[in-house]
Structures are given as structure tokens and as C-alpha cells.
Amino acid sequence: MMRVIMLSPPGAGKGTHSKWLAQQTGAEHISSGELLRSEVASGSDVGRQVAAYTARGDLVPDELIFSILVPIVVAAVRETGGYVLDGFPRTMPQALRAAEIGVEFSLTSNAVIYLTAPQDELVSRLLDRAQREGRDDDTLEVIRHRLAVFAAETAPLVDYYRGRGILLELSTDRPEAEVRADLQGWLESRGLMPSAAASSADDADAAG
Ligand code: AMP
């Protein structure tokens, strides 16, 4: 079963492609950002702590992230056999600890998809999304900060996973159907996706 990490800067399409992969394979889509947003929306104490970071575009501390995510990932593997991790891990300490937990619970990732697009394209997609979804971290200032945080904290994970031989790098600066076809071909070639799976989603480009 597919246990994949979607690694990409904000706006490169990880939300869109994660949803599609989960639909195609039955693996559970786990979005750290969505989980954090619902925690904030619940008005809990944890939600208030989280909001102080997310509103600025800063990363939420690792302890908080692990306490929210680990039970969900363990349950997803038990129930579906796989996962599409959208937005986690996002720092080297998160990646190293996730790898240890993966060994401990037999849920090690077997693929990492690194989605890329030019910076100005990322910014314009996120500003478009702001019109549609009204996320409070999709303002120009916070977007720029999130991109800088990605470059400083998350980009080092690319070489780490490339070194483990499980990384596919894909440009999303082209029609979504082409990206999906490449994604599917690579996952099929690794035995992580059934070849019969055909896409029925539309071709609209989307941020995420
Ligand atoms: P996203 O929806 O993936 O763009 O995430 C929205 C925000 O949630 C990020 O800007 C961070 O503040 C926070 N966040 C999401 N995932 C993580 C993570 N793995 N570690 C720390 N903060 C995170």
C-alpha cells in the first residue's frame, strides 16, 4: 500500500494532488494544515496556541504537531494500510523523528513527491486561493514568509529523501492532467498504485 509524503512549497498543489491520490488508492489523506485549522476553529486551548503560529506563517512547534498527528497516522495505517501525508514532515527534526516512529510502528513511508513551481506562480496561485477560501495566512506578507520558511526549514528534506531513493520531483507548472499522469506512472512502476486507476477529476489547476 502507498505510504506517501507530499513535500512542496505552499501553492505547488500538494492539497490537490494529495486528495486525488487518496481517492485513487484508498490511502487516507492526512493534511496537517487542515487538522490544525480545525483545531483553531474548535476554539480549544490547543487551537489558540496553534493560531499564534499559523496566522503568522510560522511553523507550529514539533511537540504539538506530533501529539496531533501520530495517533491519526497510526490509526490510518491500521484502517486503510496507507496514507498520503500532506504537509508533514516539514522540518529535518520532524523527518528524523517520523522515520523512527515509522520503524517502531511499521508504517515507514515508501514514496515522497516533491512538487515544484516558480515562486511568482506560487504567489499568484495563493492569492487566487485567498479570493476563494479566505484563509488568513494567504495574504501577500504571510505568503512570502511561508515561502521563506519552506526554503529554510523544509527544502533540506528534499536531499534527505532523495538520498533514501524514494523521491520523485515533479513540476506543477503545467496542466494538472500531465502532472497526474507522471505521478501515476511513477507510483505504478514502484508497485504503489494499481495500473487500472484512471483519473476522473477535471483538469483545472489549483493551489494547495
Ligand atoms: P498548510 O495548510 O500545509 O499550508 O499549513 C498551514 C500552516 O499550518 C503552516 O503555515 C504552518 O503554520 C502549520 N503547519 C502545517 N503543517 C505543519 C508541520 N508539519 N509543522 C509545523 N507547522 C505546520
DSSP per-residue string spanning 72-109: HHHHHHHHHS-EEEES---SHHHHHHHHHHHHHTT---
Structural domain includes residue 118:
yes
Specify the ligand 1 atom closest to the Cα of 69. Answer: 19
Does a structural domain hold residue 22? yes
For residue 106, the domain's CATH number is 3.40.50.300
Range of the domain at 118: 3-31+84-194
Q: Half-sphere exposure (CA, 13 Å, Cβ side) for 143? A: 21
Residuewise pLDDT in 10s, the chain (208 residues) = 899 999 999 999 999 999 999 999 999 999 999 999 999 999 999 999 999 999 999 999 999 999 999 999 999 999 999 999 999 999 999 999 999 999 999 899 999 999 999 999 999 999 999 999 988 899 999 999 999 999 999 999 999 999 999 999 999 999 999 999 999 999 999 999 988 544 444 444 445 5
> pTM score, two decimals?
0.92
DSSP secondary-structure letter at 167?
Answer: E
62 in any annotated domain: no
Cβ of 69 less than 6 Å from ligand 1: no
Q: Determine the number of helices (DSSP H) and then strands (DSSP E) in the chain.
A: 9, 5
Q: Are 82 and 3 in contact (CB under 8 A)?
A: yes
Question: How many folded domains does the chain comprise?
Answer: 1
Ligand 1 atom showing the smallest separation from residue 34 Cα:
2
Residue 51 lies in a domain: no
Task: Verify cis geometry, omega within 30 degrees of 0, for the bond prior to 89.
Answer: yes
43 is a domain residue: no
